[in-house]
Copies of this chain bind each other. A is one copy, B any other.
Amino acid sequence: MEDHELDRDAQTGMPPEPRTDDDPFAVPRASETVLAALAAGLREGTVSTASPRYFGHFTTAPSEIALRASAIATEANPQLATRSHAQFAVDVEDLTVRALASRFGYAPATADGTFTSGGAEANAMALALALARAFPEIAQRGLRALAGDPVLYVSNEGHATAARAARLAGLGSDGVRIVPVDRKLRMKPGALGEAIARDRARGAIPFLVVATAGATSAGTIDPIPEIAAIAERAGLWLHLDAAWGGLAAFVPELASVLEGSARADSITFDPHKTLAVPLGAGMLLTRHPRALASAFHEQAGYMPRDASRDPYARSTMWSRRFIGAPTYAVLASLGWSGVAEMLARQVALGDRLRRALGERGWSVVNDTPLPVVCFVDATHEDGARPDRLAAIAREVDARGAGWITLVRFSSGTRVLRACVTSPNTREQDIDALVDSLDSSRKAVFSRSAAP
């Protein structure tokens, strides 16, 4: 999980304009004034995810075509709750879902899925699919009718949305088994197997394993084939949280790192992290064509003639915007080859960053082929101190060379982290970051050495 301690104050927040707490809407204001204030506020009071020097969270810079597609969709304002009401938009989303699913190895004929507001919703939906499959009776009778406690498994580097989803689904944190990771921060399959056995022995009911591809902190990828084998043997739903790491599915050189993804029963993938589209565009994919309808179809109300394909009956949302438009437009204009090229460039920049950091005496402490690099300073005895690292990040930001974060691994270790997540990042941005890290380090340590 990401550590947000770098609450740097470079961001100014509210500009002069609407800072009236009493009644900001008492007096109408000219549209141009309002829009100018909005634009200025966003410029000044936001960490710019559009910058090629944004190395922060996994948020991409929207491409021109994505912004234009988004504007077209927003202006048309189709209401995607039902298929018949917005046939074109629903068709486009279906087609995009199936095409993306096939990149993860799902068979197009049975692949299914839906766009979501982001990875959190997709992960929560996966939990609902797994519960509905394992315990069909809870749709009517609820969790309290079960003979034992449902339990899911996720590594301690997995995203906290799995735990939150479990809590909101009524399982409580007691229903979440945190599986330890190895030295490379990957879930230990042996520990997973043991945890399942232990839970069964005490009468609990394992039902879901969440594997992570591209953990938020270190970008590590759980050993999918081994985990899939365990889940299959135990008859558990396997969910792959590939919200960011799913990018590997588009880069031929990296395809092997997602080996086994097609064995997952469902997959989270976030176009807004990797496909140059604006927030929020997440996805849930599944290889079980009727799973969505059986988990989300509301049985209490009146049904359309065949609601099993209506978006409202296959999602947690009801009224729905055309989330998939920019993702479709990016894929259609780039084609798979263009997507591969865009992402391969980011992967190469990640490698360049790793190499350059090593050459300058930083110690890279994570192990992933994905473009996220975690590191501490190896040139100084205090080079791994969190306060020093945070000061370095602030200094790099102040010098305009990039926005990076301080994260904490589940072990408690804190490290600096830089990811390449913008299609606009170039070699000179990486080089500027490394140069600035170097000089920022010197500045911080000379300050701290001063009497």
5 contacts across the A-B interface (CB closer than 8 A): A22-B108, A45-B89, A67-B75, A142-B172, A282-B319
Nearest Cβ on chain B to A360's Cβ, whole angstroms: 27
B128 touches A168 (CB 8 A): yes
Which of A113-121, A193-201, A427-435 interfaces with chain B? A113-121
A119 touches B319 (CB 8 A): yes
Given contacts A173-B139, A333-B31, is CB(A49)–CB(B77) below 8 Å?
A: yes
When chains A and B are docked, how far (Å) is the Cα of A327 from the Cα of B112? 33
B335 touches A77 (CB 8 A): no
Interface residues as binary, A27-46 with B (CB distance below 8 Å gives 1, 0 otherwise): 11111001100110111111
When chains A and B are docked, how far (Å) is the Cα of A335 from the Cα of B335? 46
Give the interface size class of chain A.
35 or more
A35 touches B336 (CB 8 A): no
B26 touches A336 (CB 8 A): yes
When chains A and B are docked, how far (Å) is the Cα of A326 from the Cα of B64? 21
Is A161 interfacial (CB-CB < 8 Å)? yes
A139 touches B167 (CB 8 A): yes
B-chain residues with CB within 8 Å of residue A333 when the two chains form the complex: 28-31, 34
A75 touches B88 (CB 8 A): no
B143 touches A142 (CB 8 A): yes
Nearest Cβ on chain B to A23's Cβ, whole angstroms: 7
When chains A and B are docked, how far (Å) is the Cα of A118 from the Cα of B21? 25
Is A361 interfacial (CB-CB < 8 Å)? no
Closest 6 CB pairs of A and B: A170-B170, A45-B88, A142-B172, A28-B335, A4-B304, A13-B87
Find residues 8-62 in chain A having any chain B CB closer than 8 Å to their own CB.
8, 11-15, 18, 21-31, 34-35, 38-39, 41-50, 56-57, 59, 61-62
B332 touches A18 (CB 8 A): yes
When chains A and B are docked, how far (Å) is the Cα of A295 from the Cα of B170? 12
Is A242 interfacial (CB-CB < 8 Å)? no
Interface residues as binary, A297-335 with B (CB distance below 8 Å gives 1, 0 otherwise): 011111011010010000011111110010011011111
Of chain B, the residue at the smallest CB distance from A47 is B85
A279 touches B168 (CB 8 A): no
A319 touches B99 (CB 8 A): no
Of chain B, the residue at the smallest CB distance from A170 is B170
A65 touches B34 (CB 8 A): yes
When chains A and B are docked, how far (Å) is the Cα of A141 from the Cα of B278? 37
B-chain residues with CB within 8 Å of residue A1 when the two chains form the complex: 301-302
Nearest Cβ on chain B to A322's Cβ, whole angstroms: 8
Is A288 interfacial (CB-CB < 8 Å)? no
Nearest Cβ on chain B to A273's Cβ, whole angstroms: 8
Of chain B, the residue at the smallest CB distance from A160 is B301
Given contacts A120-B318, A332-B25, is CB(A305)–CB(B44) below 8 Å?
A: no
Which of A90-98, A224-232, A364-372 interfaces with chain B? A90-98
